[in-house]
Structure 1
Amino acid sequence: MNRHRLLLLLLPACSCFSHAAQPQLAAQAANAHAFELFQLFRPMTEGNFCFSPFSSHQLASLLMTAAEGETRQELAKLAHLQGGTEKELEDLGAMRSALAATVRRGSLTLEMTHSLWATGAGTFDPAFLSSAQTLFGASLQKLPAADATASAVAVNRWVREKTRGRIPQIVGPASFSDPARSLVALNTLFLKGLWQSPFELKNTKPRPFQTPEKGSVMLPMMMKTAEPFYYSEAESWQCLQIPMTDHEVHMLVLLPRDEAARKKIEAGLTLETWNATHTQLADCDVNLMLPRFSYSTQLSLKGLWQTLGAKSLFQNGAANLSKGLPGGGYFISDVAHEAMIEVNELGAEAAAVTAAPAEPFGAPPAAPKRRVVTFNANHPFIWALQHDTTGLILFIGRYAGS
């Protein structure tokens, strides 16, 4: 039996569904996946990193619907699902529908796409293609036959278009070692939104930022004085929510008090501890300083997925994707991921591609009384772009100034 490699690429995008289900349940599964990935990313660097856990979760869920047996079970566990029950698939559709509703209201640009690439439509099972279109908005794209260079050009052109040029390339000709039989599964996600209350450019000035690797460096720091934000705090951290237009999406910034606190907090960061930081958010007047920043992260998710239990997917002869690829013999060669984030005075823009101590957070926070507090993000912090309606984390990362 011939064995073929299937290259996976993840990129964020947007699709519309109308399932009347519980989108928050699907969002909680995606967010649990987010913090498992965060704990694997975290030790890799003391500097900046970012990724789209939603992009990774969407592709894992899509592949699960193409898989059978052990491969399906492993992907379900990776995505914190029970195996793709009808109810779970409805919840996933409802989550995507909630995102689509945000887009229709026009409050921000949010585009998510899935595409399946092959030299011919007959490669995929028709029932799988139909469900992939219904549940994930996936489209079938044709690869140039027997031409590795042209195949790479076609996929990269799609990536550039869907991420507004922010991610210009994700594959090369080497990804199509058998051009006649190569397949690509691609997920893209692009988000751009304006702050509900933009920063004034005249207030942005170079100020010191303490980095873990280079010491103090001068960075452009945006500033607001005594403006209302939702805010919470504890002995070792502060948390601030910065809303985008119409409060559809917000940036949540978790600022440890110092470097020692950051390491403990990151090591103990889970879905539960993350939720605990903003269950007591209250309206406060905040003196805010936040760096203007832009950076990207590139890496393979293959090793991370394997660490989290999705192993047979990558093994020649063990992977079972027969529900979506009835010809048999396919396995995953890699899961490529790239994400970028830009935060400035007007808002935030992000794009992605996917081709501890027991009590690190201290006592539960008390709701702060209405007062003026200072939130000076002049040292490393954790940030996330989160959808208000579902609670879904679209992008997450650490900014460390380098």
Structure 2
Amino acid sequence: MANTLNYSKSPAGEAQFALKLFGQLAKSESGRNIVLSPSSIRTGLAIAYLGAEGSTADELKLGLGLEGAGKNDVAEKLAQLLAKGQWEKASGDEGGPKLKYANRIFVGQRFQLAQAYQDLVSKNFAAAAENVNFTQSADAAKRINSWVEEQTHQQIKDLIDPASVDADTSAVLVNAIYFKADWQSSFPDYATYASDFVNHGGRKVSVDTMFQEDFFRFGELPELKAKALELTYAGTDIVFLIILPQEEQGLAFLEEKLVGVDLSEISSQLSRRKVRVQLPKFKFEFDVPLQAALEELGIRKLFSPEANLSSLLRESEPLRISEVKHKAIIEVNEKGTTASGATFVQVAVESLLIGEEVFEFSADHPFFFAIRDAQNTLFLGHVSQL
């Protein structure tokens, strides 16, 4: 079962940005539950990149790992990656999976937005820049918050605090993502009961815990002192990857190692096995200002008085991003990421195999998770206390 990870294959572009950003936050917020969407944050910052020039643009391109020659090229490549982000329209099925990105730069009313910039971003990302009057802070916050709420099916509320914007605010970059899907193999309701979870720091708590035994992609990762499991979502190629440290308080060691490893590489190490899975139900939100973590990744000019966002404006004026605001919510339960009552009848010939070895996967202490497909890391997070 044990496989060797190829450390030479370090993650590129999107994946590298995702793990570096997560690594920064995981260190500073080790005792807190984290969930964030690197692909959504990266898209929001790429929308700023399309309006940037000079060293501001260079820092963004490098820090985000953007690929493409000119801005049009970058925008097209990114838009292709996000094309699958409009499923709910495509599937049309109420119970089907939903994935939706919402990215927008809200710019103070005193700045005139350049038409060429508006055309570029609306062609590739739908309208992505809008003027608001920050001098009326309560109205501006309400406008931004209601837009985010609408984009995320009323899940994400009160993203912006009216006290955080004022007449001096020139621009706020907002991004949100909404994802909802059912497990391919749901956890039976009757098998959920209270069980112990050992929190970050060692305190034991009793939490509602789900159980099932089935065939899943599973693997042991000795170099990471961990094991990994993938739970698939019905009707999508998106998976919920859990990496569980062998040691009860081994999460910090694991996350330090993960910064240099491509998650696709970990996925490729897994194989279909019969696994007895124990996973706590959880729901939490995570909301953190990103400026400090992004500056650690080399994206500094964007927030400074020297920021050059001249392509965004009709007339060049000093404009900087006051804040990058991101909030994400995750709920994991028997049905999937949010309850929706759809049942899946499984016909598994494999379960007739007798004498199949059963592997144990008990997520009863802090663990790392990712929600991802082959191209994008939709969410990264860790559960450190329940």
SS at match of 1:385: strand
**Could you tell me how far apart the structure 1 residues matched to 2:171 and 2:250 are?**
45
* CA 122–299 in structure 1, closer or farther in 2 if over 3 Å, else same: closer
Q: Report which stretch shifted further, 277-286 or 202-211.
A: 277-286
Q: CA deviation at 1:146?
A: 4.7
1:279 Cα shift?
1.0
User: TM-score when scaled to structure 1?
Assistant: 0.81
* Contact map agreement 2:101 2:175 (CA 8 A) in 1: yes
Instruction: Tell me, in whole angstroms, the C-alpha distance in 2 between the residues paired with 1:122 and 1:47.
Output: 38
Aligned partner of 1:41 in structure 2 is 25
Equivalent residue for 1:151, pick from 140, 163, 170: 140
Match of 1:70 among 55, 77, 80: 55
Partner of 2:350: none
Instruction: Indicate whether 1:81 and 2:70 are aligned.
Output: no
78-87 or 67-76: which moved more? 78-87
State the 1:322 CA deviation. 0.1
What is aligned with 1:31?
15
- CA drift of 1:188 comes to 2.2
SS at match of 1:134: helix
Structure (1 or 2) with the greater strand fraction: 1
Contact map agreement 1:60 1:78 (CA 8 A) in 2: no
Aligned partners of 2:68 and 2:57: how far apart in 1?
7
Instruction: Name 1:197's counterpart in structure 2.
Output: 185
Residue-by-residue CA offset, 1:47-88 (whole Å, 9 max, x unaligned): 311111112101111111100001000111111125763443
- Alignment match, 2:321: 332
Partner of 1:194, secondary structure, is coil
Q: 1:128 aligns with which of 97, 101, 117?
A: 117
* Equivalent residue number for residue 221 of structure 1: 209
Q: 1 CA distance for matches of 2:234 and 2:299?
A: 38
| Whole-angstrom CA distance in 2 between matches of 1:82 and 1:201 | 45
Using the size of structure 2 for normalisation, the TM-score is: 0.84
One-letter amino acid of the structure 1 residue matched with residue 215 of structure 2: P
Partner of 1:262: 251
Q: Is the 8 A contact 1:155 1:171 kept in 2?
A: yes
Give the Cα separation in 2 of the matches to 1:59 and 1:297. Answer: 18
State the secondary structure of the residue aligned to 2:120. helix
Q: Secondary structure at the match of 2:320?
A: strand
Count of residue pairs brought into register by the alignment: 353
Calculate percent identity across the aligned residue pairs.
25
Matching residue within 111, 134, 138 for 2:100: 111
Task: Tell me the distance in 2 between the aligned counterparts of 1:154 and 1:101.
Answer: 26
What amino acid maps onto 2:234 in structure 1? T
Distance 1:148 1:335 in 2: 17
Q: Which moves more between the two structures, 52-61 or 77-86?
A: 77-86
Give the structure 2 partner of residue 344 of structure 1: 333
Aligned to 1:56: 41
Matches of 1:151 and 1:125 in 2, distance apart? Answer: 21
How many Å apart are 1:166 and its aligned residue? 2.3
In 2: Cα distance, 1:394 partner to 1:281 partner? 20
> Is the 2:289–2:326 Cα contact (8 Å) retained in structure 1?
yes
Change (3 A) 1:232 1:310: same
Alpha-carbon distance change, 145 to 102 in structure 1, aligned in 2, over 3 angstroms: closer
CA separation of 1:128 and 1:34: change in aligned 2, threshold 3 A? same
Asked if the contact 1:219/1:291 (under 8 Å) is kept, the reply is yes
**Dislocated runs of 4+, deviation >6 Å:** none
What SS does the corresponding residue of 1:197 show, helix, strand or coil? Answer: coil
- Asked whether the equivalents of residues 253 and 384 of structure 1 are also in contact (C-alpha less than 8 Å), the reply is yes
Structure 1, unmatched stretches of 5+, are 1-26, 351-368
Contact 2:137 2:163 in 1 (8 A): yes
- 8 A contact 1:176–1:182 mirrored in 2: no
Structure 1 contact 196–247 (Cα < 8 Å) conserved: no
Contact 1:50 1:340 in 2 (8 A): yes
- TM-superposed CA distance for 1:400, in Å, is 1.7
Q: What is residue 155 of structure 2 aligned with on the other side? A: 166
Aligned to 2:4: none
Q: 2:364 aligns with which of 378, 393, 397?
A: 378
Long gaps (5+) in structure 2: 1-10, 340-354
Name the CA distance, whole Å, in 1 between partners of 2:33 and 2:48: 30
Please give the per-residue CA displacement for 1:5-30, whole angstroms capped at 9, x wherever unaligned.
Answer: xxxxxxxxxxxxxxxxxxxxxx9522
Q: CA deviation at 1:120?
A: 5.7
Q: Does 1:284 align with 2:273?
A: yes
Matched AA of 2:80: A
Which residue of structure 2 aligns with residue 243 of structure 1? 232
Q: Distance in 1 between matches of 2:329 and 2:363?
A: 20
Asked whether the 8 Å contact 1:35–1:269 carries over to 2, the reply is yes
